[in-house]
Amino acid sequence: MADTGVVGCNWIELKPQKYRIRSEKDMTSSAQIEVDVVWNDFTSHAPDGEWQKIAPLRILSFDIECAGRKGIFTALDLR
């Protein structure tokens, strides 16, 4: 990370034809996509200016906090 300037919240841009998308059987995480890329075949962009935007969300996850009697689950209505 030090050699490439990668820090938290950076965007990573992969060079065309310089990475391989792993097949599902080779994946080691629960991410939707995993890639293999050589350390110097990508560009790290600090989260400034245009690169400060967040990616469009494809999946939204959230935690529902519920209150109710002990041992009884009370669902939160999100309509």
| Structural domains in the chain plus CATH codes | 1-79 (2.40.50.730)
pLDDT at 58: 59
70: enclosing H helix or E strand: none
Q: What is the mean pLDDT of each run of 10 residues along the chain (79 residues)?
A: 78 91 91 89 87 68 59 54
pLDDT at 22: 94
Output the six-digit token pair for 45: 């962009």
pLDDT at 65: 56
pLDDT at 31: 84
The CA distance from 23 to 35, in Å, is 9
pTM for this prediction? 0.57
Strands in 1-79 per DSSP E: 11-14, 19-21, 35-37, 42-45
pLDDT at 56: 66
